[in-house]
Chain A
Amino acid sequence: MNGIPPGTAFEDLPPGWVCPMCYADKSRFDELE
């Protein structure tokens, strides 16, 4: 999706990445477990 290959690690997402569902940018994410 958005030209990001499946399996890409979170750290490797480009800085401008946004969540394909909700538009949230990378800084909004927090590791769950």
Chain B
Amino acid sequence: MAFGDAEILVFDGACGTNLQRMEIPPSAWNGREGCNEFLNLSAPAVIREWHSSFLSAGATVLETNTFGANAIVLAEYGLADRAAEINRAAVANAHEAIRRHGGAAHVAGAIGPTTKLPSLGHIAFEPMAAAFSEQARSLVEAGADALIVETCQDLLQVKIALVSCFETLDRMRRDVPVMVSLTIENTGTMLVGTDVAAALAAIEPFPVFSIGLNCATGPEGMLSHIRYLCRHYRGRVSCIPNAGIPQVRDGKTHYPLSPDAFAARLSSFVREEGVSIVGGCCGTTPEHIRKLRAALEGAVPARRTVEEKPSLSSLYQAAEIRQEIPPFLIGERCNANGSRRFRDLLLADDAQGALRVALDQQEDGAHAVDLCTAYAGRDEKADVETLARLFAQSVRIPMVIDSTTPECIEAALRIHPGRCLVNSVNLEDGGTNLERVCRLAKRYGAALIALTIHEKGMAMTVEEKVATARRIHDLAVHRYGLRPSDLLIDVLTFTIGSGDASLVDAAAETLAAVRRVKAELPGVFTLLGVSNVSFGLSPASRRVLNSVFLHEAVAAGLDAAIIDAAKVLPMAKIAEADREASLDLIHNRRREGADSPLSAFIGRFSARKTAQEEPGAGKNLPAVPPEEELAEKVVAGEKDGLPDLLSILLSRRPAASIINHLLVPAMRRVGDLFGRGEMLLPFVLQSAEVMKRSVDYLAPFMEKSEREEGRRILLATVAGDVHDIGKNLVDIILSNNGYRVVNLGIKVPAETIIEKARELGVDAIGLSGLLVKSALVMRENLPQFAAAGLRVPVLLGGAALTGKFVARECVPGYPGPVVYCADAFAGLSAMRGIDEGTLSSTVFVEAEETPAMIPGPRGTAVARDNPVPTPPFLGPRHVEGIDPGELFPYVNEQALFRGRWGYRRGKMTAAAYEDLVREKVRPMYEELKARSTKENLLAPKVAYGWFRAFAEGDTLAVEHDGRTWRFPFPRQKDPPHLCIADYFRTGEEGGDVAGFFVATVGEAVARATKELFAADRYHDYLMLHAFAVEVTDALAEYWHETMRRELGIEEDRPAATPGLPSPPASFSRYVVQEYRGSRYGFGYPACPDLGAHAAVFELLDPGRIGVTLTESMEMVPEQSTSAIVVHHPQAKYFSV
């Protein structure tokens, strides 16, 4: 039976984790401990025994022990020159095990990712390709039935491996199935940041046998990615997970998923999703595979309905060519021949400036960005290599390689990890160049733009255009093996604005040709360079004509357009008469008794000269000076028309002056308004967005030295803390006030801060952190900074900090100024203090001190005779698929609107505030609810359980599965000296019952939030982040109620209507805990120690709902919460 004939292929289990358990004599390692691949030569019997254990378990495919058997990894053990020998031995070992077993299993040659990430520049294409080619050749020569490129972490590495494998097989004239298996981390992307759609777009053009996932997580964490593949990829889908997410127990790595659970989950992927290749990665034993095989008895992979989505991709994300609202927009401004700004940047070797042009287009809504570096006197190949590398890492939309030179096209295809579009080929030379470029597109999986140009010139008529398109299509598809959907046919656009009599029908011919190509060449896409249509006309009229022509072309079936996305006007913004004049010109319709359509069109626009009169650029108000208009835009958070306004200002003063004398003072006004309570935080963020866009627009017009003015501050969330919203708000405010911010991210150890501060010579350091523990970390960091010789001011901010703590505990540990900043604007004024030389450490004035306030109920002793309810079950359970709609009634809207979003009433009248909520805040909340539902951003899941428990002094002992976990709880230092353990009966009193839960809304929303920050959408970033936090709290409230119901203690439920389930009648009664008992979140005031999570996670195994712990015991994803549930009626919130 051939490899691909079996309906379900069952791969074997782990290599490394199983070899670790076998007895391997030290002599076998020969000083190369860790190089498992060497054992193929030195201990073949051990390898055969390992293979044999999986054959006995029922595996139908063995993977060779060759994960690291390539010259790159083997070089680390001095074995680079023995790669081929090791691979051949590995295949022989697998074959020998199968022969002795008398079975008919197949052998798949495993090709690991090496230890280098080419996307990040660790290694170039050529050396990596050489290593993969050698490995593939030796595996196939030795008789491997298939190749599996597995544990792929970097999209460029996948591409290099596939190009190498298929080239090697071609050369050997062999047809061996090649499988690709990606590793998608807990974060939802591959290590380098690629999501599954981007990976699929880049891989599916290759003739692979299957695409799937292995490693990183258990099956649970793979579900959404596997689903995506099953729904959008026609080939076979593989799933080879770990036995759960590894945990460290007693210093040893432990894989939590049992063989039964592993098999059940994976077989459901086959039966329900249509996966047809399964197996095990790290931590899976022969028992896992035996159970898997048993669970698959009689199974048939589910029938799949596959909807392919031809797409391009960047390193990060995919962009479908068929847009829901066409067309697919390709930004045209990174073209040395088409844009003066870009050309000047290229000539000045300003790669960062060139990147900015690409990022601007991304911001303006382009779906891909065209890059053309061909310019007389420059080295096109060197330029395209520099910029392709930079764009690949920094641009989130895919790249279009615009070159007529095959060497340059190939150079770019070898650097960019995603699926690129090549611009372009034609038949001008009869097909020589077309053949070369088609072969490149096939080899690297790229898509291709084809222009209807033939030996005699450009196709002008419909017939000519369609005939040329057909010739190109037939060559590309039938001779060079491309698919119709790999082609974007450009039937050419000519100007109808020149008055050339031979071109009056050119636009109409183009539109008709688009229609016919779509009808006659099914599957191909169409594309036009739209702005050619108006060449020679005035800027204001070009914009209108281009937009109308684009609209007409889309109606004719156009899929994609090369155009400046920022200049596309929606039809609704174009005056009816302008539109009619444009349509007359496009379709060459002469009105009776009137001038030619061109004269009529030009006549309409002749009076409009300035940019401000262009539709959409300005308001119909008496003109204000542009300086004032810019300030108004910043304060109003108004982004429309910024480029036009800035270009006018640039003609009056230098860019640096616009920033320093107009923008910065306007932002200062925003800060003042915020400080006086007259402007709310969300509006401040909108202003910052205007500032950011303006600065980005102006940056290329400034000297390098000017851009590097402004003090530099380093920002970090301290070690052990994952919260970054506060720090990011500071980043936004400071960087938009002229300071240069180096944002080091979260969980940053003191050593890294010191190193970076020295390296960059920063002027200040800002530390942030939400946790109580983070305040202590800051206190500890400061003496380290001092010892390292740092003296620059340190600004501290975070929820748990107070001025008193900073003054008393932090200031003494550091010789430079240490300043407490209550919010981002306090940080800004501290930076101004540095500018003015007036900054000094925070002091705490004794007289201000008032007696410490200890929250919590006062009074009587805790009753010891409270009856213990009976839980419905004991032990952990996992619940998924909770409808987010159920949770929304439990959202604390006041906390969201006023606390997190910052829509506070402040000095507003009650009526004005009510209006604000009704017209602005609530609609935004409703929209977020709708968006999160539509885009499946919320996936509420809960791990919870009931356990026997009893108090021992201040400790609660919790029993499960014959083991006891102890939770030491802190006691208040002052009366009434509360402690959580007090609410539980002791063993002598008969014991008690405790509930625990870990709840999460999943990571999709965290991902969406991150994307907004990365896109500088500050306002939306804050809104979505806060929304997710409050929905997570709502899930906790909702689940707490569910647990009270399970315990039968919901009798005093706060709902106004007894006996009715959700929604709660009045949420405010939940806020004040008008229900029985309490829940106490770990890390919160009654039990601040996150260390308790270790035990909670052992009891509940929340890995099964995708929640894991960091080394500092914080939960990941961020939108997760945990609690102990206490039923004692006197239990209420308090603080130690």
Chain A interface (Cβ < 8 Å from any Cβ of B): 1-3, 14-23, 28, 30-33
Determine the residue in chain A with the shortest Cβ distance to B858. Answer: A1
Determine the residue in chain A with the shortest Cβ distance to B914. Answer: A33
Nearest CB in chain B: distance from A17 CB, A:
6
Q: Select one of A2, A30, A31 contacting B854, CB under 8 A.
A: A2
Cα–Cα distance between A2 and B855 once the two chains are bound (Å): 8
Q: Select one of B850, B858, B898, B1132 contacting A16, CB under 8 A.
A: B850
Nearest CB in chain B: distance from A2 CB, A:
5
Q: Select one of B848, B910, B1132, B1135 contacting A23, CB under 8 A.
A: B1135
Q: Select one of A1, A15, A31, A33 contacting B850, CB under 8 A.
A: A15
Cα–Cα distance between A28 and B855 once the two chains are bound (Å): 15
Check if B4 is an interface residue, CB within 8 A of chain A. Answer: no
Check if B853 is an interface residue, CB within 8 A of chain A. Answer: yes
Contact yes or no, A28 B899, CB < 8 A: yes
Given A21-B1072, A21-B1133, A22-B1133, A33 and B853 contact (CB-CB distance below 8 Å): no
Given A16-B849, A21-B1133, A23-B1135, A33 and B910 contact (CB-CB distance below 8 Å): yes
Cα–Cα distance between A12 and B894 once the two chains are bound (Å): 24
Chain B 216-243 near chain A by CB (<8 Å), digits 1 or 0: 0000000000000000000000000000
A30: chain B residues within 8 A (beta carbon): 898, 904-906
B904: chain A residues within 8 A (beta carbon): 30
B905: chain A residues within 8 A (beta carbon): 30-32
Given A28-B899, A30-B904, A31-B905, A20 and B856 contact (CB-CB distance below 8 Å): yes
- Per CB-CB distance, the 10 closest pairs between chain A and chain B, nearest first, are A16-B850, A14-B850, A30-B904, A18-B853, A30-B898, A20-B855, A23-B855, A2-B853, A23-B1135, A30-B905
Cα–Cα distance between A14 and B858 once the two chains are bound (Å): 20
Check if B593 is an interface residue, CB within 8 A of chain A. Answer: no
Cα–Cα distance between A33 and B908 once the two chains are bound (Å): 11
Cα–Cα distance between A31 and B764 once the two chains are bound (Å): 37
Nearest CB in chain A: distance from B915 CB, A:
14
What are 13 A-B residue pairs whose CB atoms fall within 8 Å in the complex?
Answer: A1-B858, A2-B851, A15-B848, A16-B849, A16-B852, A16-B853, A17-B853, A22-B1133, A23-B855, A30-B898, A30-B904, A31-B910, A33-B910
Check if B406 is an interface residue, CB within 8 A of chain A. Answer: no
Cα–Cα distance between A30 and B899 once the two chains are bound (Å): 9
Chain B interface (Cβ < 8 Å from any Cβ of A): 848-856, 858, 894, 898-899, 904-906, 910, 1072, 1085, 1132-1133, 1135
Cα–Cα distance between A28 and B849 once the two chains are bound (Å): 19
B853: chain A residues within 8 A (beta carbon): 2, 16-18, 20
Cα–Cα distance between A14 and B1085 once the two chains are bound (Å): 22
Determine the residue in chain A with the shortest Cβ distance to B802. Answer: A25
Determine chain B's interface SS by DSSP, over half rule.
loop
A16-B851, A31-B905 known; 13 other A-B pairs, CB under 8 Å? A2-B854, A15-B848, A15-B850, A16-B850, A16-B853, A17-B853, A18-B855, A20-B855, A21-B855, A21-B856, A22-B1085, A32-B905, A33-B910
B852: chain A residues within 8 A (beta carbon): 16
Determine chain A's interface SS by DSSP, over half rule.
loop
Q: Select one of B850, B856, B1135 contacting A17, CB under 8 A.
A: B850
Cα–Cα distance between A1 and B910 once the two chains are bound (Å): 29
Cα–Cα distance between A24 and B906 once the two chains are bound (Å): 17
B855: chain A residues within 8 A (beta carbon): 18-23
A3: chain B residues within 8 A (beta carbon): 851
B910: chain A residues within 8 A (beta carbon): 31, 33
Nearest CB in chain B: distance from A31 CB, A:
5
Cα–Cα distance between A21 and B853 once the two chains are bound (Å): 11
B899: chain A residues within 8 A (beta carbon): 28
Nearest CB in chain A: distance from B896 CB, A:
12
Nearest CB in chain B: distance from A32 CB, A:
8
Determine the residue in chain B with the shortest Cβ distance to A31. Answer: B905
Determine the residue in chain A with the shortest Cβ distance to B1073. Answer: A21
Nearest CB in chain B: distance from A11 CB, A:
13
Cα–Cα distance between A22 and B858 once the two chains are bound (Å): 14
Nearest CB in chain B: distance from A25 CB, A:
9
B1085: chain A residues within 8 A (beta carbon): 22-23
A2: chain B residues within 8 A (beta carbon): 851, 853-854
Cα–Cα distance between A1 and B1132 once the two chains are bound (Å): 16
Nearest CB in chain B: distance from A13 CB, A:
10
A16: chain B residues within 8 A (beta carbon): 848-853
A15: chain B residues within 8 A (beta carbon): 848, 850
A31: chain B residues within 8 A (beta carbon): 905, 910
Nearest CB in chain A: distance from B801 CB, A:
12
Nearest CB in chain A: distance from B953 CB, A:
25
A23: chain B residues within 8 A (beta carbon): 855, 1085, 1135
B851: chain A residues within 8 A (beta carbon): 2-3, 16
Determine the residue in chain A with the shortest Cβ distance to B897. Answer: A30
A22: chain B residues within 8 A (beta carbon): 855, 1085, 1133
B850: chain A residues within 8 A (beta carbon): 14-17
Nearest CB in chain B: distance from A14 CB, A:
4
Nearest CB in chain B: distance from A3 CB, A:
7
Nearest CB in chain A: distance from B849 CB, A:
7
Nearest CB in chain B: distance from A23 CB, A:
5
A32: chain B residues within 8 A (beta carbon): 894, 905
Cα–Cα distance between A10 and B852 once the two chains are bound (Å): 18
Cα–Cα distance between A16 and B855 once the two chains are bound (Å): 12
Cα–Cα distance between A15 and B849 once the two chains are bound (Å): 8
Nearest CB in chain B: distance from A33 CB, A:
5
A20: chain B residues within 8 A (beta carbon): 853, 855-856
A14: chain B residues within 8 A (beta carbon): 850
Nearest CB in chain B: distance from A12 CB, A:
13
Nearest CB in chain B: distance from A6 CB, A:
13
Cα–Cα distance between A32 and B849 once the two chains are bound (Å): 28
Cα–Cα distance between A16 and B910 once the two chains are bound (Å): 27
Determine the residue in chain A with the shortest Cβ distance to B910. Answer: A33
Cα–Cα distance between A2 and B852 once the two chains are bound (Å): 9
B1135: chain A residues within 8 A (beta carbon): 23
Nearest CB in chain B: distance from A28 CB, A:
7
Determine the residue in chain B with the shortest Cβ distance to A14. Answer: B850
Determine the residue in chain A with the shortest Cβ distance to B899. Answer: A28
Cα–Cα distance between A33 and B413 once the two chains are bound (Å): 62
Determine the residue in chain A with the shortest Cβ distance to B850. Answer: A16
Cα–Cα distance between A17 and B854 once the two chains are bound (Å): 9
B1072: chain A residues within 8 A (beta carbon): 21
Nearest CB in chain B: distance from A1 CB, A:
7
Cα–Cα distance between A15 and B852 once the two chains are bound (Å): 11
B858: chain A residues within 8 A (beta carbon): 1
Determine the residue in chain B with the shortest Cβ distance to A19. Answer: B855
Cα–Cα distance between A16 and B854 once the two chains are bound (Å): 11
Nearest CB in chain A: distance from B1132 CB, A:
8
B849: chain A residues within 8 A (beta carbon): 16
Cα–Cα distance between A32 and B851 once the two chains are bound (Å): 28
Determine the residue in chain A with the shortest Cβ distance to B907. Answer: A31
Cα–Cα distance between A18 and B854 once the two chains are bound (Å): 8
Determine the residue in chain A with the shortest Cβ distance to B908. Answer: A31
Cα–Cα distance between A28 and B732 once the two chains are bound (Å): 22
Among A1, A18, A19, A30: residue with most chain B CB under 10 A? A30
Cα–Cα distance between A7 and B864 once the two chains are bound (Å): 35
Cα–Cα distance between A22 and B1080 once the two chains are bound (Å): 12
Determine the residue in chain A with the shortest Cβ distance to B1134. Answer: A21
Cα–Cα distance between A2 and B848 once the two chains are bound (Å): 17
Cα–Cα distance between A28 and B799 once the two chains are bound (Å): 11
Cα–Cα distance between A19 and B858 once the two chains are bound (Å): 13
Cα–Cα distance between A1 and B848 once the two chains are bound (Å): 20
Determine the residue in chain A with the shortest Cβ distance to B1132. Answer: A21
Determine the residue in chain A with the shortest Cβ distance to B904. Answer: A30
Nearest CB in chain A: distance from B1122 CB, A:
18
Nearest CB in chain A: distance from B1121 CB, A:
16
Cα–Cα distance between A20 and B1135 once the two chains are bound (Å): 9
B1132: chain A residues within 8 A (beta carbon): 21
Among A15, A16, A18, A33: residue with most chain B CB under 10 A? A16
Cα–Cα distance between A1 and B166 once the two chains are bound (Å): 78
Determine the residue in chain A with the shortest Cβ distance to B851. Answer: A3
Cα–Cα distance between A22 and B1072 once the two chains are bound (Å): 10
